[in-house]
A and B are shown apart, each in its own frame.
Chain A
């Protein structure tokens, strides 16, 4: 029995659990326990935990942070507070209007993040009321002063440093409305255009901002972004609806009426995040192919590449892991031995950014060992089509003399009334030519695919078998000339001469035996799912990589069948699942104000114009190269061309926080903007640097219902109304409506208010029902029934699981391309100029030890002949690098060196995968998640250098670290290309340099190959205020008074990356399916045909900054124990080999 001291009694005080009576009771009553294994006499105390578990009520909500799962969760409430969250376990009850049901295999759904969501709801880091930056408020109150070039005085725009002023909602709305009027007015008309010219904007950007009559429209300088709009069909897409409504403002300012007005510019999401795989539309014409996760159940083999499913697709892990249960093969391709690699039958450690070479190596084996599915390739790909050697264009049906046979089944993809589904202008269709083995030329229309091809050939006495696949020869064209032609298949056969397993091993580090084995495994499996991720999509030449995976999948017939397909996985983007246009582009001049109108009958007119944020990121500029040979060359196509940015309003996105190269954006781009509005429920970096911050409701507080759907599962999820808000927040829709009302007051145009009529009336369901009415996947559903059912529903695709390309391969409908086939040859001039008419391996732009962007091709390979701009090999000018095309053999390429190695000593690739503890930067505000997110989580902050309760880390191979004198747990500086990292124009004396130069803890990780480091994406990086906080506070806490808890003291992962624009992704000629319809057009299309940036292009060097131990004098304590990687003691080595058990 221990002695009971006064101190011990004092320490027994419990606030919430035991009462004083219990305390007394404890010491007074004697308790006799004999054998506590057998019996225990006093078990009343057990009510303690039963009491703790009790709850008053529960409600469901949807957690939708863009991971694509949209899990329905149940919040448990006690005394009006959400105390915990659990999964709903209800998916087996989801069904569609035909009675099809989901299964319990989808259970339970909902991950660690959904379960800690209540901590975000009640966190001190919420945005609590509307705020306006003091300097900006002064600028407005001073009457918007400007200099002779239209620029506001700098002293009003000290973003990130100024104080904040709390305002009422009405004040906030008025201020924003006033500023909108002023800014749009300033930049309207010829005078507005002239100001922009004087501010240095290129003429092309001004031209892109003109109205149909050719006059400058100031509202075109507004950039509005519904962040991940698909996640909130009315709440988030409402930002775009507001942008469309701004045509009324333009009308007020310039009086051009409904025909001559324009709306605001609107910003993208999927392409901005570099989630869009730009090579997908280049192959099949649609945004992205991705199987729903339950299709993996059908795969005989999965090739998981550059995709860490374990960390980023958690809710549906069981679908692909079921392959283990079914004895099916899992192959993982990634540079490091990733968590997903642990589940693999075999893992291949590839050099980062070299996937194209690997795929061409597989193609080499598949072609030479005749492992390809000839029938499939002829029926569904462009491989049998003939290409002219002289023009490098496809031979057209009207070129040969005499005329070829013609196969044209007419329209095969038609509606019930006979109208063609795929509306394609005649000039976009390509009537190509194949050859039969008996020498006849066969002309094919784009609908002569699949069974139609077979049937039409049969009518001519031919079969698919009779078509040539691997052939070259000559053709006589009109005029008598003889022209050399080759099938596209033959071109690839010749190209892949260079991509032998031996050469590919040298390029990619993939052992040649593994390569051959992989090729044979893929070819012999019944169905192969190629699951591709952002690990390969975030390089400059991502489109080549995307196309290359399709090449291998198509050669082996793995497209459009159960279990056999190519999928790209990142964020949630498949907006067409919900037919948003009837809400977003409702005609503001012609509003449909009756609640009973079928969505199809709502009058629509699109006044908005989309563009990619990448141009703003790039310096608010398109790609203009000063080509040594050709002078000023603009490589951003007209349809992509951005307008100048004067106003930004982004909702539901930490735009600046996760913006590539954000310190440059803050320093060099943001000063060009005159109003920057952040709208979110948590304070993040986007708020830190804003002018106006609108606080909104969290997902458990929604005042209005909403809807979302997903690209990885078939569920339509409904957001019900939630609990009362904790703070002075509004629902996002109310914010748009509020600013609109303020604009109504200024302009006198009542239509601003009417545009939000159903919001005001509390009948947002009207908008939701319209969206349901319009969609092929949703028509038949009733919103009121769905909301009251409190569960999800199945989207109405053709198939469950949804299989991309199924209608094409199983029903012989054409692909949404020029030729109606899967395309591996790009004959457009832009591709010919860039040397990418064929899929070819190009070195990364920065993350390479070799010549950046080098093309690997056989010696003297004439089919690839890029335009020579005369750019020097040593040039590190970013624009020039995008048009430097150096064709080398493997041997030659391996002898080159990235100039950054020798000029600046940058010798470590630094990539940024997405972590499991957060979704991008979301959940950086939750202490529990931050504690688990790294090696350095400590709620008690024993090390006062820790910015908050944890800090982020740089993963590095122990040998790389030791070579550089870095111990496990040390702080290091990480420096990228000094020409523009961390921002253009940096110098050591600039206080902002200290804020932006990355200092981070090193963490030994043997899973990484040499020369390769990892920093996880979406870190809350340092800001002006966070640096001031930790440098001035006694305890070194970096949390700002604005409520921002960074995970780093200095810099962020964005300190070492920059913006890039790839010319092949900015063409006006690429043919692709329209976004919400089956029309086929060409050129820019938001989130479909767009530039995508390159966030994994980063070469860095690291240098020692501080010791890791608590006193800063020695090694980080755990690394002194002998149990850590790279520092194993004898005992640890014994542990590793299982030596503590003998026999």
Chain B
């Protein structure tokens, strides 16, 4: 095992391979506050990539209702139970990662879901913890929220480390993690090792598959299907810099490193996942800390008290299919640019109101709100 630095847990940790960051790291921000659990992302991914034989049960993107939902069933309940109670201290994770907690002979702590556990992908949709006659902020007395999941294209993937054929790799140019469909031997070690269960075995081909970050689109400067398609406008995709190279005009850097309003999923597993979540404002903080780490309270405070720049960045979500590399807010609007410096979109910060005249002289017609 080598030693690598994981900035999300604030320390070095064990990993099978020497650390090497890609030139750019594919990353996304999901704002849970806006998610409506519509599964449009799920269906867009499905219809693009996993509609063929052997893929019937496969959903590279899924949205599950927390706390009872999960695809596969109870995936995070199980791995948390296996890992046991752990701790953070002053922003540093002092517990064991799944690599550090590995059993003899394995490279990570993990489990293989049984076949029936892949059924019912939307189990306990819209199911909260209870009923009371009323709830109110800051924390709802009973609660539920939607957790949107794709492959996290981790900096230190468990799938990559577990593959006995080294058939899983990280692309140097953008950090996208791929399973080589040519060389995969169908050992399913990746399925067992990935704590997020985003490596999926396809019996019909004898290979495992996973979210490919829509690289055919990303290579052309277009955001992935699941990001483009999001009806709630909760997703933004771009490239994240490591903490020592932050560019505040890069919206992903801004949300993750500058404002720290977007947090990684189960950072304690130790994979440095690259999908970041803005936590839901109504959910108990202890539960959210278990899921997103100790930055939860500060992130929610930021999200519920948006300053003008943060408001401007959030206005950009769901407006364009181009990858935004830089954003620039003014007092009236926010402008977004692609990696070539071209203007991609311009969004006003306020919405217009139009009033049309009662009588149109040219067409000799009166206009009404009530036609």
Contacts and interface: CB of A to CB of B under 8 A. Distances in A.
Interface in B115-146: 116, 119-137, 140, 142-145
Contacts of A1121: 73-74
Contacts of B185: 2
Nearest to B80: A1140
Contact of B48 (A17, A84, A327): A84
B6 interface: no
A86 B369 contact: no
B56 A346 contact: no
Given A89-B320, A1124-B68, A341 B182 contact: no
Contacts of A917: 39
A777 B143 contact: no
A807 B356 CA distance: 12
A1007 B144 contact: yes
A164 B294 CA distance: 65
A370 interface: no
B257 interface: no
B241 interface: no
B266 to A, nearest CB: 10
Interface string A376-417: 000000000000000000000000000000000000000110
Interface residues on B, range: 35 or more
Interface string B310-333: 010011001111000000000000
B309 interface: no
Nearest to B225: A86
B32 to A, nearest CB: 10
Given A33-B169, A577-B371, A1007-B144, A324 B43 contact: no
Interface string B263-287: 0000010000000000011101111
Contacts of B85: 1139-1142
B229 A115 contact: yes
Contacts of A85: 47
B184 to A, nearest CB: 9
B300 to A, nearest CB: 11
B122 A942 contact: no
A671 interface: no
Contact of A933 (B44, B122, B204, B352): B122
A244 interface: no
Contact of A932 (B122, B233, B284): B122
B342 to A, nearest CB: 17
B216 A1006 contact: no
A165 interface: no
A1111 interface: no
A457 to B, nearest CB: 25
A336 interface: yes
A286 B370 contact: yes
B44 A317 contact: no
Nearest to B362: A780
Given A86-B44, A317-B231, A1138-B288, A107 B319 contact: yes
Given A36-B170, A89-B320, A777-B367, A112 B142 contact: no
Interface in A1096-1134: 1110, 1117-1118, 1121, 1123-1125, 1131-1132
B351 interface: yes
A382 to B, nearest CB: 19
A45 B369 contact: no
Interface string A771-808: 00001110110000000000000001111111110110
Contact of B356 (A52, A797, A1125): A797
Interface string B161-175: 001111111111000
B245 interface: no
B232 A1124 contact: no
A881 to B, nearest CB: 30
Nearest to B281: A324
Interface string A729-752: 000000000000000000000000
A53 B358 CA distance: 50
B37 A777 contact: no
A518 to B, nearest CB: 10
A221 to B, nearest CB: 33
B124 A1137 contact: no
Nearest to B233: A318
B56 A16 contact: no
Contact of B128 (A43, A104, A1007): A1007
A416 B364 CA distance: 9
Contacts of B134: 346-349, 510-511, 514
B107 interface: no
B366 A421 contact: yes
B104 interface: no
Interface string A93-125: 000001010011101111110011010000000
B287 A11 contact: no
B81 to A, nearest CB: 5
A25 interface: yes
A345 interface: yes
Nearest to B138: A345
Contacts of B18: 35, 37-38
Contacts of A318: 34, 232-233, 318
Contact of A1008 (B131, B168, B362, B371): B131
Contacts of A116: 43, 47
A111 B38 contact: yes
B314 A112 contact: no
Contacts of B140: 337, 342, 347
Contacts of B125: 932, 934-935
Interface stretch (B86-94, B191-199, B246-254): B86-94
Contacts of B11: none
Interface string B210-254: 001011110000000100111111000000000000000000000
A310 interface: yes
Contacts of A796: 356, 360, 367
Contacts of B158: none
Contacts of B101: none
Residue among A45, A798, A800, A938 having the largest count of chain B Cβ atoms under 10 Å: A798
B215 A1142 contact: no
Contacts of B178: 46
Interface in B326-371: 345, 347-348, 351-356, 358-360, 362-363, 365-371
A52 B34 contact: no
Contacts of A892: none
A225 interface: no
A957 B232 CA distance: 29
A1078 B130 CA distance: 50
B368 to A, nearest CB: 5
A304 to B, nearest CB: 13
Interface string A59-98: 0000000000000000000000001111101001000001
A336 B131 contact: yes
A1135 B351 contact: no
A1 interface: yes
Interface string B285-303: 1111111000000000000
A31 interface: yes
Nearest to A1143: B87
Contacts of A348: 133-134
A115 B290 contact: no
Contact of B371 (A8, A776, A1004): A776
A103 B346 CA distance: 10
B228 A806 contact: no
Given A346-B135, A1131-B77, A937 B87 contact: no
A297 interface: yes
A894 interface: no
B17 A87 contact: no
B233 to A, nearest CB: 5
Q: Which 6 A-B pairs have the closest CB atoms?
A: A1138-B286, A40-B169, A36-B169, A346-B136, A939-B56, A33-B166
7 contacts: A15-B53, A26-B182, A33-B166, A318-B232, A346-B135, A1121-B73, A1125-B68
Given A776-B365, A807-B369, A1123-B74, 4 more contacts: A112-B42, A115-B43, A318-B318, A816-B370
